[in-house]
Amino acid sequence: MTHPPGTDPAGRADPEGRAGPAAPRDSAELARVLGAIAAEMARAGGFRVSAVSLFRASDELEFVAVEGDPRAVAELTGDITPTPVAMAMLERAERWGPLRFLPHDEAVELLDHIWVGAAEGDGADTHPDAWQPCDLLMAPLTDADGALQGIVWVDLPLDGRRPGPDQRRRLGEHAQRANRTMVEALEQERLREQVRLADAARRVVRTATADLDLARLVQTTIDSVCDGFAVDEVRVHLLAEEDVADLDEVSLQSRLLAERCWRDQQVAIVSHRRAAPALLSAEEHAVLLDGLHDQGDTSLLLTPLGAGPECVGRLLMFRHDRTDWSDEEASAALDIGHDLGRAVLNARSFEREQQAAAYRQQLIATMAHELKNPLAAVGGYLDMLEMFLAEEPGTSTQVQRSLRGIGRATRRLDDIVADLLTLARFDEVADPVPVEPHDLAAVVHDVVEGLVVQAEARGVRVRVHAPPGGARVSAEPADLERLVVNLVSNAVKYSHDGGEVDVHVEQAADAGDAGHVASGVVLRVADHGIGVAPAEQRRLFDEFYRSADPAAASQPGTGLGLSIVQRIVRHLDGEVALESAPGEGSVFTVTLPGSPG
């Protein structure tokens, strides 16, 4: 396996001779899944050691889960290998189906980057198929687009032999299953981490950048980042407030590093295992390591602050323990660097009311442009391409299949972006804006008409019981539509083929118990599908929660739909309730304040 224990990519020894876990603090589920992948590979192939490593945005390959031999776990967990070295190993390896094998004679040239796993007491084995100390057996892990995400490794075969054809086949099958599991786990973890860190970044923007007093702005930023990123110490240094002649060697080096980071639009991670080779020389890295050591820290995440071409300062996050920094944390920190850099310039130029209004408008406009417009463009070009190919005789089946795949992926991305933006919008604290009353029954009829293709594909019949005109709710039409779409599409998705879904809209007075909402409107969506177990019902409205029921887990989704339903209902001062039992279906009841007229 790659990289010797206790060193960083530049070859400097870790003073404690070990490496800590690299996964984010809140990624216990991801670590569990990756650990299970590694353990299953070892069991399937008859190996003592297995591991999963992931490629990081910092151009490094990092071991995030190691199973088996305690020495391997202690020495490999969290270790780093430069990505070019790992890629060279894959390119030079023999192809065994989904597996890659680099024999001892080839791998020994890379000895500085290989963990030699000969078991204690092993003697020389002269058998022609004997497993050699530097043999490398690995399986690349790729995402749905074929992009390389990581590698799963095995070492120390129990029988001391290189795997034969049957063993390779079993390992290959397990590697393919592991790849699918890894892709799903990474997608969920990244979405979860992005939402968490986006919320932290939003709080920094919302609470810090609205203040024109620069000292208060900096202090508020420090407090918000400490809380949102779970770090031990945060510092903000502004270039305009520093006298270069008075800076010590460490501070001067961090200032120069911030300027390089802003030029390259990236953050820098500095630790005994992270050398930031594209940004720092070995000597500069040593200076910063000495500074970390002197103040009792083990790692630094440096984020440049700036706007346009100008770097205005740096945000420094420190951790005292050995928890490393995730790619999502680095990305969120860089976003904060942009936001905070603009806020610093605004605080020096505008009055408080002008700055706050302009920044909110800029943030909203930027978000809408960066997230929605590219996806809309992809969809438009895809439509044009499909129209063009429809007029071309002999278009291959593979091309048609690829276009359908692109379309599905684009729609999925668009749905995810819409869900994330909806979650963010309902997290914001805003003054209530008067809205016109709208007929919920009319919204239901429009939504059901739009879902007819999805329902008919499964043979599901959707029946609407909603007399028009009598159930008016004061809400944005888009919010009512999203509420109904999420509930009805879920009911169709989790119904059995050929099943039925009933959608009722009625006045609360006609519906029996309406909770504490007086004179309300009730929306009830009932299916007769797979149902939800009682133990899972209380978590069903949590972000990203997916049922453990195999029938439910097999359906595509991000676990955001019902969380959005709950937030819309709360925003409208209503209530949502669930009645369900496995195998008997589910009934979702939403009660909203009614509106006269």
Q: For the segment 494-526, what is each residue's pLDDT rounded down to a tens digit?
A: 888 999 999 999 887 644 444 444 468 999 999
**Tell me, what's the pLDDT at 564?**
86
- Out of 43-57, 62-76, 196-210, 234-248, least confident range: 196-210
Tokens found for residue 252: 């001067």
- CATH class of the domain defined by 437-593: alpha beta
pLDDT tens per residue across span 319-362: 887 667 888 788 889 988 988 888 888 777 754 455 445 444 45
Tokens found for residue 395: 């278009």
pLDDT tens per residue across span 415-453: 777 776 776 666 555 555 667 888 899 999 999 998 888
With tokens 């030029």, the residue in question is 263
Q: What's the DSSP call for residue 14? A: P
DSSP codes, 138-164 = EEEEE-TT--EEEEEEEEEETTSB---
Cα angle 278-284-286, degrees, rounded to a multiple of 5: 115
pTM over 0.75: no
Specify the higher pLDDT residue, 328 or 49. Answer: 49
Question: Counting runs of H as helices and runs of E as strands, what totals does the chain give?
Answer: 17, 18
Spatial CB neighbours of 163, under 8 Å, sequence gap ≥ 6: 45, 137, 157, 171
- Distance in angstroms (rounded) separating the CA atoms of residues 243 and 253: 14
- Distance in angstroms (rounded) separating the CA atoms of residues 496 and 189: 30
Tokens found for residue 312: 């205005």
The pLDDT of residue 61 is above 80 = yes
Q: Which helix (H) or strand (E) holds 312?
A: strand 310-319
- CATH homologous superfamily of domain 28-188? GAF domain (3.30.450.40)
Burial group, residue 156, by CB count within 10 angstroms (0-12, 13-18, 19+): buried
Q: 411 vs 71, 405, 457, CA distance in Å? A: 47, 10, 18
pLDDT tens per residue across span 215-247: 888 888 888 888 788 788 999 999 988 999 999
Q: 73 vs 4, 38, 42, 321, CA distance in Å? A: 13, 12, 14, 18
Question: Residue ranges per domain, the chain?
Answer: 28-188, 209-349, 354-427, 437-593
b/e burial code for range 127-150 (CB count within 10 A of at least 16 → b): eeeebebbbbbbbbbeeeeeeeeb
- The answer to whether residues 1 and 115 touch, using CB atoms and an 8 Å cutoff, is yes
Q: How confident is the model at residue 181 (pLDDT cuts 50, 70, 90)?
A: confident
Mean pLDDT of the chain, nearest integer: 79
Mean pLDDT, residues 76-99 taken together? 88
DSSP codes, 316-378 = EEEESSS----HHHHHHHHHHHHHHHHHHHHHHHS-HHHHHHHHHHHHHHHHHHHHHHHHHHH
Tokens found for residue 216: 């208060």
Q: What's the DSSP call for residue 468? A: T
**Tell me, what's the pLDDT at 216?**
83
Q: Does domain 209-349 have CATH number 3.90.1150.10?
A: no
Spatial CB neighbours of 534, under 8 Å, sequence gap ≥ 6: 581
Specify the higher pLDDT residue, 126 or 481. Answer: 481
Q: Give the SS3 label for residue 119.
A: coil
The pLDDT of residue 13 is above 60 = no
- Distance in angstroms (rounded) separating the CA atoms of residues 556 and 412: 10
- The answer to whether residues 315 and 236 touch, using CB atoms and an 8 Å cutoff, is yes
Q: What's the DSSP call for residue 212? A: -
**Tell me, what's the pLDDT at 377?**
77
- Distance in angstroms (rounded) separating the CA atoms of residues 372 and 549: 33
**Tell me, what's the pLDDT at 26?**
40
The pLDDT of residue 24 is above 50 = no
The pLDDT of residue 480 is above 60 = yes
Tokens found for residue 302: 């440096």
Q: In which order are the strands placed within the sheet that holds 268-271?
A: 233-238, 310-319, 299-307, 268-271
**Tell me, what's the pLDDT at 574?**
92
User: Are 209-349 and 437-593 in the same CATH fold?
Assistant: no
